[in-house]
Structure 1
Amino acid sequence: MHHLTAWDDPATRRAWAKLVSWAFLGQALWPVAWLGLLAWYVVMSISWTLWFFFVPLLYTFYRAFLQPAYISFAFRARRLLRAYPWQVLEEPESGIGEVPGATAGDVWVRFPDPERPDETLPMILQAHARSMWWRRRLGRGYATEKTAQVRLVWFAGDPRFAVVVAAPGPRRFYVIRQRPTNDQGVAHVRGASPAAVDRARRAGVCLPDPNSPLS
């Protein structure tokens, strides 16, 4: 935890290599699985066993369609890991709804403001497949075996823009981007210092041009 950036930690690089390897392997295997099931579906179309293949066929198609996003996610995470060090969030404050920008079912977690230590910033977890492990453990408001797994959370990034969260190890990488953004998908600068904004840009965060009205 004493490295200049998270990427300088060999354990981080190993965990990321495993993440991206699985992402590329899935990109190769899920389309093959879908085509194989589709071929079997056609061949067996006169059989009553057809219905057993319908759900797996839909699921493999969904995963084949989703897999490029997993690869993109891995490289977004790497840019953040190469720009920021790991920090530890102990017993993170989290909840469901009731913060600006959250709907009734949105899970959020609070991070310390890098330039205002006495303040915290909520970040909302997007509802998609990669967030499920975290959504099942954060925001419950009561202790369970699952919530105990996130009593300590590692994070690398700036919560005004984006962070990578991880279970200690690190493992279970997940990128959370700050909201709200404008209609062009550009993050708000939120009063951050020029150095913080420049660092966020190097980490791949889409920010407005200083001379643009978006800033």
Structure 2
Amino acid sequence: MTMNLDKQGFDGPVAWETPGTRRAFLLWTARHLARALVWVALWWGALYVTLLLPVAAVVPMVLVLLSIGTMALVALGRLAMGWRMWRILRVYPWRQLSGAVRITKGKDALFVLPDPDSPEKVVSLKAPAGLFRTWSHEALKEYDEELWYAGDPRFACVVAKPGLRGLGYLAQPTAYNHRTSPRRKGLSPEARRRARAIGARVAD
């Protein structure tokens, strides 16, 4: 694993001020908004068709409605992640890293990134394969060759392919979940400040 930047940690201008970041984020938002609107429109269309069908045909259409509704909720959930991504991009600088991506036995994508306070240590962030996606080496090739990331892998990060393509969001299970214990140890004052600035949970 090699770091392509001379500086590590939190040095450098925040990602939002880097040329190309705002355009990449707007494109990401527009793409996911379009997907969400399409699924919502399909759900309403399927509901309208269901109301016109005879009673005998309603049961299979309910299954269709549930399937489309699930996809709509997934799309809306991904769109909602944009708020957290925006906050991360306004707090952390971009970093570049090669050889940082693995595929687990369960076909999840694992991003192995340096600890900002102790660069000799690494922290892993997982991108689950999910029900409708399995990660492949080909899909992750560009991320592995030159990964762009902004954030603190102990909490959450925005990742991208070279040229700020393929923006993605990764978070630790403890970063925002109030049912888990917040991180306490190994955090510098600057790391705590930035984590709180993105809304992540940090113990006092």
Do these two structures clear the TM 0.5 threshold for a shared fold by scoring above it?
yes
The code of the aligned residue for 2:68 comes to T
**1-structure distance, mates of 2:178, 2:16:** 32
Deviation at 1:107, TM superposition (A): 3.6
| Aligned match for 1:91, one of 88, 91, 99 | 99
The code of the aligned residue for 2:17 comes to D
Q: Which string of whole-angstrom CA distances, capped at 9 and with x for unpartnered residues, describes residues 75-127 of structure 1?
A: 10010011111111102152416xxxxxx564422101112222211222244
5 Å-filtered alignment, 1:38-57, equals 38-45=47-54, 57=65
The code of the aligned residue for 1:193 comes to S
5 Å-filtered alignment, 1:3-82, equals 4-45=13-54, 57-82=65-90
Secondary structure in 1 aligned to 2:114? strand
Check conservation: 1:164, 1:176, Cα contact below 8 A: yes
Partner in structure 1 of residue 8 of structure 2: none
Report which stretch shifted further, 62-71 or 108-117.
Answer: 62-71
**2-structure distance, mates of 1:186, 1:11:** 36
**2-structure distance, mates of 1:64, 1:14:** 25
The two structures have a TM-score, normalised by structure 1, of 0.73
**Percent identical across equivalent pairs?**
28
Over 3 Å counting, the alpha-carbon distance change for 1:190 and 1:168 in structure 2 is farther
**2-structure distance, mates of 1:136, 1:105:** 6
Q: Which string of whole-angstrom CA distances, capped at 9 and with x for unpartnered residues, describes residues 134-190 of structure 1?
A: x614xxxxxx54343222111001112111111112122222112456762453134
Check conservation: 2:115, 2:123, Cα contact below 8 A: yes
Partner in structure 2 of residue 192 of structure 1: 187
5 Å-filtered alignment, 1:128-147, equals 128=130, 132=133, 136-137=135-136, 144-147=137-140
Deviation at 1:201, TM superposition (A): 0.9
Residue-pair matches, total: 192
**1-structure distance, mates of 2:27, 2:139:** 23
**2-structure distance, mates of 1:23, 1:5:** 24
The code of the aligned residue for 2:77 comes to A
Over 3 Å counting, the alpha-carbon distance change for 1:179 and 1:44 in structure 2 is closer
Secondary structure in 2 aligned to 1:200? helix
Check conservation: 1:3, 1:9, Cα contact below 8 A: no
Structure 2: which 5+ runs fail to align?
6-10
Structure 1: which 5+ runs fail to align?
98-103, 138-143, 211-215
The two structures have a TM-score, normalised by structure 2, of 0.77
Is 2:142 the counterpart of 1:149?
yes
**2-structure distance, mates of 1:147, 1:22:** 20
Partner in structure 2 of residue 101 of structure 1: none
**2-structure distance, mates of 1:184, 1:40:** 41
Check conservation: 1:84, 1:157, Cα contact below 8 A: yes
Partner in structure 1 of residue 119 of structure 2: 117
Check conservation: 1:31, 1:61, Cα contact below 8 A: yes
**1-structure distance, mates of 2:180, 2:129:** 17
